[in-house]
Amino acid sequence: MTTHELKITGMTCEGCAMKLRTGLEQLAGVHARVSYEWERATVEAPDAISRRRLLEQVRADGYDAAFVDDTDATPVRRSSSGQTHIAIIGSGGGAFAAAIRAAEEGTRVTMIESGTIGGTCVNVGCLPSKITLRAAELHHRRAHHPFEGVPRDAGPVDRSALLAQLRCRVEELRQSKYEGILADEPAIAFLAGWARFEDARTLAVDAPSGAVQRLQPDRILVATGASPAVPPIDGLANTPYWSSTEALFTDEVPEHLVVLGGSFVALEIAQAYRRLGSEVTVLARSTLLSRDDPEVGAALQSALVAEGVRVLTHTSPREVAHDTERFILTLDDEALTADRLLVATGRAPNTRALNLDAAGVETDSGGAIVVDSHLRTSVPDIYAVGDCTAMPQLVYVAAAAGTRAAINMTGGDAELDLSVVPAVVFTDPQVATVGLTESQAEGQGITPDARRIDLDHVPRALANFDTRGFIKLVAEAHTGRLIGAQVVAHNAGEIIQTAALAIRNRMTVEDLANELFPYLTLAEGIKLCAQTFSKDVARLSCCAG
C-alpha cells in the first residue's frame, strides 16, 4: 500500500468531498479521506494502482487534482465565513465525544490523528482486554466451578482462534463507533498526521507523505491519550518485554509469565493468563491496588493466590536480562526466569511530541496537561481531555470531559464534576470502588464510620457457592451520609453504581437500609451492609426488610 496526498480543485461543498471519496473508493483496495476545507485528499492505494489511475478517477468525477509532491503549494485553510472552527488532536473516546457535540452545535471540526482511529479503549484497551478476560473466565469455570454433579472439564485453549475473534470484534466496533461516524458526519473532517504547536494559535500537521499543513482554528482540543510507561530498571529497555498491547494481541500462552505491576492492568492480564494455562508471577513494587483501601488489595491477593498466581509484594527487580530465549529477573533474594515478561507499571501522557512549550500550555511534573473543571488549559482557547491530562484514566471520564469541553468551546458553560467517580477492576472477583476510603475521609477532616459485610452474609453469594470478597460502606459519622463504598465480589462492577447514585443524592446509610432491593441479587449486599450500621445482620432472616 502507498499513501498519496492530492490537492483537489473544483470542489464547492462538503458534498463534493463525499462524492469524490466514494468515487476513489470504487477502485479495489483504495481507502480515501477527502477534505473540502483543505482541498486535499489522502489516498491509501495498492501499489498496483498507478498515480495516473487515481488522477483519472478524480477527473471522471468532475474535479481536477495534482499530487502534493509535484507542487509547491502550501495548504491554506478555507475561510470559514464566520463559522467556528475547532481542531481536535486525537481520535479516542474524549476526542469523538467532543467532535460529535461540537458538530451538533454547528461547528466545523478537524480531527487530527497520527495512528489508528479510535484511541486506546476500542483498539488496545477496554474492549480487547474484556474479551480476553471473559474467555479466560469461562475456561476456568469449566474446570473449577463449585457445583456437584456438573462435570468439571476444560480442554486446551486455542489462542489463535480466540485472537481472531477478538480482532474481528475490535474492527467491527472501530468501524461502527468511530470510522462510520466520520464517514457520516460532514462537519467533521479527518486529517492524518502528527500535530504540533508552533504557537498558541497555530498547529503544524506533518502528513504521512511528508507534507506539512498549518491550521489556525478558533479553538484547539488536545486529546492524545497515554502510552505504557517503562520503569527505569537496569537492562529492561534492551529486552523484548510485552506491554499490555502485546499481551492482548498474541496467539501465545507462555509457560511462565512474569508481570511487573500491581494495578488493574497488571492484575487483569495476570489472572487471564493464569486461567488460560500459564504459570504467573506478579511483582508489585508496593501492595496490590495500593491506592485503594488496603482490605481491597488483600482480598484480591488472596483470590489470585488461591488460583495459583504467585504474588510478591514490595518487590521490584534490580536487573532484567534476556538470553534470546528467556527472561532473567534479578531480585534481592532470588533470580526468576520466565518465557515472557509483561510490564504494566502505569501509563504516561502522550504530550512530549506536541511542543506544548511553544504554545505556553502548562503541564505537571509527569507531562500531564493541567486543566480546570471546564477543561481549559493555561492558554485561552486551548482545552484538553482524557489520559493526556491529570484526570482519572477512565474512558467514561474522557468522554464526559470531551462533551463538556465542546460545550465550552462553542460558547456554553459546562463543568466536569469528578466528586463521584465509580471505578472497576475486572478481575474475578471484581473490585469496584466509589467515593472516599476511611483514610481519605480522615485526610479531608471528615470523621468516618465504616461497616464491612463479608459475602458469606449475602444470600446470592451463598447460592452461587462463591463467597469471596466483601462490601464496605463508609459514612460520615455525625450525619450517616454515605461518602464511599468498596466492593470485592463477582460482578462487583454491576453493584457499585447503586452506591455511586446514593452518594450523588446524599443518601444516608439508613436510607439505603430502608430501600427495597430485589432478593437474591448481589446488589442486595449494599442494603445488608447498610443495615449493619444499626443491626446484626447475622440474626436476620434471608430477606428481612
**Catalytic center residues:** 11, 13, 16, 63, 121, 126, 542-543
Cell triple for residue 290? 495500593
The answer to whether residues 159 and 252 touch, using CB atoms and an 8 Å cutoff, is yes
DSSP conformation letters of 423-455: EEE-SSSEEEEEE--HHHHHHTT--EEEEEEEG
- DSSP E strands in 367-502: the ranges are 382-384, 423-425, 430-435, 448-454, 470-476, 482-489
The answer to whether residues 80 and 385 touch, using CB atoms and an 8 Å cutoff, is no
Residue 243 makes CB contacts below 8 A (sequence gap 6+) with 228, 342, 343, 344
Which has the closest alpha carbon to 459: 520, 505, 401?
A: 520
Which has the closest alpha carbon to 486: 495, 502, 473?
A: 473
Q: How far apart are CA 474 and CA 440, in angstroms?
A: 11
252 φ, ψ (degrees, to nearest 5): -100, 140
The answer to whether residues 438 and 450 touch, using CB atoms and an 8 Å cutoff, is yes
Cell triple for residue 236? 529492561
DSSP conformation letters of 266-290: HHHHHHHHHHHT-EEEEE-SSSTTT
Greatest pairwise CA separation for the chain in angstroms: 84
β-strands 40-45, 226-228: how paired?
A: unpaired
Cell triple for residue 337? 526466569
Q: Mapping DSSP to helix (H, G, I), strand (E, B) and coil, where does residue 305 land?
A: helix
Instruction: Specify the length of the chain in residues.
Output: 545
